[in-house]
A and B are shown apart, each in its own frame.
Chain A
Amino acid sequence: MNNWRISAVSFAAVAALSAISLSGTTALAASCPIKIGGIAPLSAPGAVGAGEGMRAAMLLAEKDINKAGGILGCDVKIVIGDSEGLPEKAKALMEKFITQDGVVAVGGAYHSSVGVGSKDIANDRHIPVVFAETWNDTITGDKQKYIFRIAPLSSWASATLWQAALLVPNIKKVAILTENTDYGIPAAAETTKGLLSGGVAAETFGVDIGTQDYSGIVERIKAGNPDYIIVLATGEAGYNFTQQAADAGMGPMDIPFQAGQVSLESKAYWENVPDGNMAFVQRIGTPPTLWSEKALALNEAYMAATGRGVIESYAMEAYDSVVILAQAMNEAGSTDGPKIVTALENISYDGVLGRIYFPYGTQKDPSADSKGDEWWHQWPDPAMTMIQYQKEGQNSVDAPIVWPDVYKNGDAIYVK
């Protein structure tokens, strides 16, 4: 064979191999079933109860997507991964999703530290992520192309806490118990700032995630004689602290007390905090009385699948985080990351949480409307309310919404 022929054949072979390797990702992604990663904390020190709810919701999403025809003619497979609520585990999990499982997008996630820890890996690999329940402002504030969020910003959620706290009669001093995580530390700082703006002092007590014995802290808080207590600890830590505070005569029945968000899971709450009546609990998402047909149907399926009570907001967020990705892929007509991002930036998705859209991103910077960077790829309308358990054993869905006025259906009872 002549030299020029050898060169031509070699060139063609190299070109063909290059083409195959370059299109490898797409070929893998387009192969059926299409895989979407689903992050949830399924073992300690993560919020395991919440994680199990999110897993169930994401598997229901898989079922609903496939029932509706799948994505681009393929079935969808949700690959569930356990973050344990730890950033280092989340990084490893994201690597595994992308390099081993071949996911084309990722949904779910509960802890902010998990979002903060894993987002760079997804962004660098051009894998779109819709975070479900990670609040830390920097997750979207870093303005990364592939990162979206349908949970509220930490600063918004904190505003719910301090604005509701300022309504407590004669309030002068608040004790905040927070976990030392990417969620807890900024949330405590923002809540403190908000309380100070209302002339109320706040003292923050930090604990490591997974702490069980709070007796020393409870005594210290008690010695400070606060008028209100706010718990910013996720998972069973919230239960442990609230019940131990109640044992020490400083629980929700003794002083106005805002328990952690995990307290929305009524069955687990009453089992772990039998003396937790009168606790205020922050709820993310539309109140059940305003749920759409879609949300009601999901709730029925969720209760049947899990045997738990009414679906929690984080489970609804997990469901929507997956289904919105499926819709984006169908609208993009592709599983390519950049095309999914474009579709998400233009999406109008009627989810169980409401109509989800992302007004700011590569097409319109938040600064155009004088918004902060955290508005990037951020759903602007998550509803936030404050409920109060007013009967022992009450379901969180039946508990009255006491704040804000737009959703309010009952008056708060302030003990003490």
Chain B
Amino acid sequence: MEFSYIFWSVIGWMVFWAVAGSLVTRRVYLRRDLDTSNAGFVGAMMGAAAGPFGLAPLWIKTPEIGKRLLVIPPLAAVGLIGIAFGLADPSNNCVSNGSFVASQIMNGLIIGIIYGFMALGLSLIFSILGVVSFAHGEFYMIGGMIVYFMTAVWFPGVNPAIAILAACAITFALGAAFERLFLTPMYEGKIDRPVEYGILITFGLAFTLQYFVQAVAGANPFKARRFIDFPILRLPSVEDPWLIKTSRGNMQLFDTVSISNPRFTAAVMCILVLCALLYFLHRTWTGKALRAVSQDREAAAIAGINPDRMNMLAFALGGMIAALAGAMLVQAFSWLPQVGAIPAMRSFVIVVLGGLGSLPGAFLGGIIVGLVEAAGTGCVPDTQRAASYIPAYGMIVLTLTLLLRPTGLFGRRFAGGAHGKF
């Protein structure tokens, strides 16, 4: 970094006013008997973005904290960090190379969509059952394994779509069976400590699945072939393909943004399935029943919904979503029985960041983590360390968010302690 003092001075200024804003704003709102639930967060963001020039009007007028105040100051704070970084390190690729920035944003978005999709399954399970599934990564791994073995070993040449459907069906059935066999004691009052039971039993499932797969499939890495090759395109013309230029495994947009085939197809599939899932949750009776149970189990039961069935459906669906993410990524990453560990850890971070039990929060959290990781990898000046800190970038965002908004971005007060029972 050429002028690091500029960057660190601005960061110091922002931190000072963020801390002051957080502490004082909450007190000011409290003294005037106003809602303080988001006062600390808004005060911190306003302090970071505008320092005393933003905080003074906030403390004087104490406006009602609406969406505008929740969104604009954080974005302004991020923008300020960007400007400080740009002034401090003008030769950095993230400052001077537009196509690099566009590529990193696209990379972050694509991987973020996949992260968010996987975390969605975890969030769905938590919102209905109140259980954090520690076997989420193993469902992801099994999804990829099934697709690999179907397309490369058992039925070489089979259409990958069939293998993906099979992976979904098998993991759905596995999730449903596990929920019926091992999680029902939680709802029936047979377990004194359901939270711990849920953690331990899903841990047990994770180890069982991982070592079972290792015993059956071995521990050598493998990878499925690309599901589809991009058609060779040169648009608008062969001579000057500035719009789109494709090879079998890569697509280049506007001569700048480069997207690899497996990641592109995975992200597109995730978006399509997300749309289908949203339709299912908002437009079908079963989906509405699921949402009703997540909001109020007792009221849902009075309305004729069987919460037990919803428990089973949520766990099976959550596992299937993870498996689908794995099924799509087995063409992008080398696959091993332990491949689910890192994505599962990331999903936990995303779910807490987005707000426990919040589906939009999980998806948005995934995209935020993806973008932050891409920014960190691309912009941290020390190349030796930039990529080493990948797991840390998400944790920094999570820590800051929880510090200012303990419920996460879209968190709500979950019916704590329900854990699948009334």
What residues of chain A have their CB less than 8 Å away from a CB belonging to chain B? Answer: 42-45, 48-49, 51-52, 180, 203-208, 210-217, 219-220, 222-223, 235-236, 239-240, 243-244, 246-249, 268, 271-272, 274-275
A59 to B384, CA, bound (A): 39
A41 to B218, CA, bound (A): 13
Shortest Cβ gap from A39 to chain B (Å): 16
Which one of B220, B223, B260, B342 contacts A215 once the chains associate, using CB atoms below 8 Å?
B260
Q: B179 on the interface (CB 8 Å rule)?
A: no
State whether B342 touches A212 (Cβ < 8 A): yes
Which one of B104, B214, B221, B387 contacts A205 once the chains associate, using CB atoms below 8 Å?
B387
Query: Which residue of B is nearest A50, CB measured?
Result: B220
- Can you identify 13 A-B contacts, CB atoms within 8 angstroms? A42-B219, A49-B221, A180-B388, A208-B388, A215-B107, A216-B107, A219-B107, A219-B258, A236-B334, A239-B221, A239-B334, A271-B223, A274-B225
State whether B387 touches A217 (Cβ < 8 A): yes
State whether B390 touches A45 (Cβ < 8 A): no
Q: Give every chain B residue within 8 A of A222 (Cβ-Cβ).
A: 258
State whether B336 touches A220 (Cβ < 8 A): no
Interface size class of B (residues with CB under 8 A): 35 or more
A45 to B385, CA, bound (A): 19
A337 to B373, CA, bound (A): 50
Most central of A52, A207, A212 by chain B CB within 10 Å: A212
Most central of B100, B333, B385, B391 by chain A CB within 10 Å: B333
Give residues 358-395 of B contacting A (CB, 8 Å): 373-374, 377-378, 383-388, 390-391
Which one of A223, A244, A247, A249 contacts B100 once the chains associate, using CB atoms below 8 Å?
A223
Q: B295 on the interface (CB 8 Å rule)?
A: no
State whether A220 touches B333 (Cβ < 8 A): no
Shortest Cβ gap from B330 to chain A (Å): 11
Q: B237 on the interface (CB 8 Å rule)?
A: no
Q: Give every chain A residue within 8 A of B110 (Cβ-Cβ).
A: 215
A48 to B339, CA, bound (A): 12
Most central of A205, A207, A213, A240 by chain B CB within 10 Å: A213
Q: Give every chain A residue within 8 A of B341 (Cβ-Cβ).
A: 44, 210
Which one of A216, A217, A272 contacts B334 once the chains associate, using CB atoms below 8 Å?
A272
A208 to B385, CA, bound (A): 10
Q: B103 on the interface (CB 8 Å rule)?
A: yes
Given known A223-B93, A244-B260, contact A48–B219 (CB-CB < 8 A): yes
State whether A216 touches B374 (Cβ < 8 A): yes
State whether B387 touches A212 (Cβ < 8 A): no
A219 to B220, CA, bound (A): 28
State whether B383 touches A220 (Cβ < 8 A): yes
Query: Which residue of B is nearest A177, CB measured?
Result: B387
Q: Give every chain A residue within 8 A of B258 (Cβ-Cβ).
A: 219, 222, 248-249
User: A215-B107, A217-B387, A220-B377 provided; 14 other pairs, C-beta below 8 A?
Assistant: A48-B219, A48-B336, A205-B383, A205-B384, A206-B383, A207-B387, A216-B374, A236-B336, A244-B332, A247-B262, A248-B258, A248-B260, A271-B152, A272-B222
A215 to B264, CA, bound (A): 12
Q: Give every chain A residue within 8 A of B391 (Cβ-Cβ).
A: 208
Q: Give every chain A residue within 8 A of B388 (Cβ-Cβ).
A: 180, 206-208
Q: B250 on the interface (CB 8 Å rule)?
A: yes
A217 to B107, CA, bound (A): 10
State whether A247 touches B385 (Cβ < 8 A): no
Shortest Cβ gap from B253 to chain A (Å): 13
Given known A45-B338, A52-B218, contact A205–B250 (CB-CB < 8 A): no
Which one of A213, A219, A235 contacts B221 once the chains associate, using CB atoms below 8 Å?
A235
Q: B263 on the interface (CB 8 Å rule)?
A: yes
Q: Give every chain B residue within 8 A of A239 (Cβ-Cβ).
A: 221, 223, 334
Q: Give every chain B residue within 8 A of A246 (Cβ-Cβ).
A: 249
A205 to B383, CA, bound (A): 5
A8 to B58, CA, bound (A): 93
State whether B383 touches A203 (Cβ < 8 A): yes
Chain A proximity mask over B301-341: 1 for CB below 8 Å, otherwise 0: 00000000000000000000000000000001110111101
Q: Give every chain B residue within 8 A of A52 (Cβ-Cβ).
A: 218-220
Given known A213-B333, A244-B260, A247-B249, contact A219–B378 (CB-CB < 8 A): yes
Q: Give every chain A residue within 8 A of B247 (Cβ-Cβ).
A: 249
Shortest Cβ gap from A92 to chain B (Å): 18
Which one of A203, A216, A236 contacts B378 once the chains associate, using CB atoms below 8 Å?
A216
Q: Give every chain A residue within 8 A of B377 (Cβ-Cβ).
A: 216-217, 220
State whether B334 touches A240 (Cβ < 8 A): yes
State whether A205 touches B386 (Cβ < 8 A): yes
Query: Which residue of B is nearest A221, CB measured?
Result: B383
State whether B339 touches A44 (Cβ < 8 A): yes
The 10 closest A-B pairs by CB, nearest first: A216-B377, A247-B260, A44-B338, A236-B221, A236-B334, A48-B219, A215-B107, A206-B384, A49-B220, A223-B100
Most central of B214, B247, B334, B391 by chain A CB within 10 Å: B334
A180 to B389, CA, bound (A): 11
Given known A205-B387, A223-B100, contact A247–B261 (CB-CB < 8 A): yes
Q: B111 on the interface (CB 8 Å rule)?
A: yes
Shortest Cβ gap from B386 to chain A (Å): 7
A45 to B93, CA, bound (A): 31
A275 to B390, CA, bound (A): 26
State whether B222 touches A215 (Cβ < 8 A): no
Q: Give every chain B residue within 8 A of A236 (Cβ-Cβ).
A: 221, 334, 336
A10 to B220, CA, bound (A): 60
Given known A213-B111, A247-B260, A272-B223, contact A220–B249 (CB-CB < 8 A): no
Q: Give every chain A residue within 8 A of B333 (Cβ-Cβ).
A: 212-213, 240
A239 to B335, CA, bound (A): 10
Q: Give every chain B residue within 8 A of A44 (Cβ-Cβ).
A: 219, 336-339, 341
A204 to B252, CA, bound (A): 26
Give residues 111-125 of B contacting A (CB, 8 Å): 111
Q: Give every chain A residue within 8 A of B223 (Cβ-Cβ).
A: 239, 243, 271-272
Given known A220-B93, A223-B93, contact A249–B220 (CB-CB < 8 A): no
Query: Which residue of B is nearest A84, CB measured?
Result: B338
Q: Give every chain B residue within 8 A of A272 (Cβ-Cβ).
A: 221-223, 334
Shortest Cβ gap from B50 to chain A (Å): 31
A226 to B28, CA, bound (A): 56
Shortest Cβ gap from B220 to chain A (Å): 5
